[in-house]
Amino acid sequence: MAQEKKTTDYDPVRGAAILALSAFDQTGDSLDVAIQSAKELVGVDPRDNRFLLLLINGIVKMRRRLDYQIQFFLTRPSEKLNVKLQNILRLGLFQLQFTDKIPSSAAVNECVKLGRYFFGDSKSKMVNAVLRSYLREPHKAAFPRLEDEPLRHLANFYSYPDYFVSYCLKEFGQEQTINLLKAMNEPSRMTIRVNLLKAKVEEVQAELKELGIASSTGKYLDEFLTLDSTAIDPLRDMLAAGKIYIQDQSAGMAVRLLNPKMGVNTLDMTAAPGGKTAYCAARMRGKGKIVALDKSRRRLEILTDNCERLGIKIVSPIVCDAVKFESEELFERVIIDPPCSGWGTAGGHADLRWRKTEQDIEQMSRIQRKLLEKGAALLKPGGILVYSTCTILRKENDQIVEEFLARNKRYELDSAAQFFDDSVVSERGFLKTYPAFDRLDGAFAARIKLRPN
């Protein structure tokens, strides 16, 4: 990222947002890296982190909509804008549309200051003209009619790539697609899992109450709590003590489906950073053995640190490509959480919708097939395998499992209905969650049983 002179001429939080957004657009850096670099460069007060993230994540999510609207207020709509200038206009329109505590005058004036700092008076006047024109005539930026062009309307209005909206329309129909797209544009909520090896749910809820944080018990799993705050700092003592782990309830539901018992021999084929591994260990009450595989030594070190903090001693981490893993012993439980598009977590990962392509999904589905075949080969007769993803696309979920079952007649689908109610279990017996219902991440899990010899 190019060095920018520090200045008091503009709001440092908004300035950092412009630098982070522009680095994300230009360098290919992850959004997290771009944000951290911008914060250090500008010198953002830690107390302003929440506002900074609100702006950046919101603008990244709504980028397609904002760009669509901007063109209606440009003198030359086809003109290619400088990246920073584009992001200043995005920042302005985002504040005017999606924040309710920032006066319109302040939103415009701060963006004009940014335009003047980065480009001089001529561009600052253009920023002022575009934003004030929007305030006068917001409906000038007309979207395609939903009745005439549902795909273009939804993709532009809710800001998603065409291929994802097209899939949702075919899979869910128009009404449910709208609900889903809306839900994934909402700010994400924080969910924690109480580590029952170290604490009780009531104890953690009492500590949260003392911190002024309200919590509600998970609808499907009692040890998961949804918080009314997204701030990490108040939770640091409980995190350090291993009493809690930040984890969405949908991830825990896959482990519940696996139902690992005390003393069983369990394999987690794609374990790091260890959320599902740790929950398996907690459900096993620290009795038995879990072999945790991952290709990344660094990520397995994170898993090891997490296990130590959570008081878990039954995990054996192994650095290896899971597809090439060899073992003399077979396992009573196998869980596979393969690399996937992550389309169930788009609400919490603002950049995902612009990073993942249809080609990525094709490539991942090939890896997913290989991992499922390998995991199944390591399962004991009578054992249980759970294939789990954080995506809602059939190509990575239903299709992978159905093709496997068609090829391997000794394996059968064991319905999720024995663990969860119909609201999250499909007719076929798969576990499916969606952000539009109960505010869970989107996820899929299939429980597969190897028939006894």
What pLDDT digit, counting tens, does each position of 164-189 carry?
Answer: 999 999 999 999 999 999 999 998 88
pLDDT in tens, 143-170: 999 999 999 999 999 999 999 999 999 9
pLDDT tens-digit readout, 342-381: 999 999 999 999 999 999 999 999 999 999 999 999 999 9
pLDDT confidence of residue 233: 87
May I ask the CATH class of domain 190-246? Answer: alpha beta
**CATH, range 12-140:** 1.10.940.10
Helix runs in 145-235, H state only = 150-158, 162-172, 174-185, 201-210
Residue 5: the pLDDT is 43
> Which contacts of 36-41 are long-range, i.e. CB under 8 A and separated by 24 or more positions?
37/1, 38/1, 41/1, 41/3, 41/4, 41/6, 41/16
Mean pLDDT of the chain: 94
**pLDDT for residue 7 is more than 50:** no
Q: What is the mean pLDDT of residues 139-143?
A: 94
State residue 44's pLDDT score. Answer: 86
Instruction: Name the pairing type of β-strands 379-389 and 443-450.
Output: antiparallel
What is the share, in percent, of the chain residues with pLDDT greater than 70? 98
Looking at the chain, the domain(s) classified CATH 3.40.50.150 span: 249-450
Residue 248 in tokens: 């969405």
CATH number at 249-450? 3.40.50.150
Judge contact between 312 and 259, C-beta under 8 A: no
pLDDT band at 27 (very low <50, low <70, confident <90, very high): confident
pLDDT of 2: 45
| Every domain range in the chain assigned CATH 3.30.70.1170 | 190-246
DSSP code at position 70: H
Whether residue 6 is predicted with pLDDT greater than 60 in this model: the reply is: no
CATH 1.10.940.10 range(s) for the chain read: 12-140
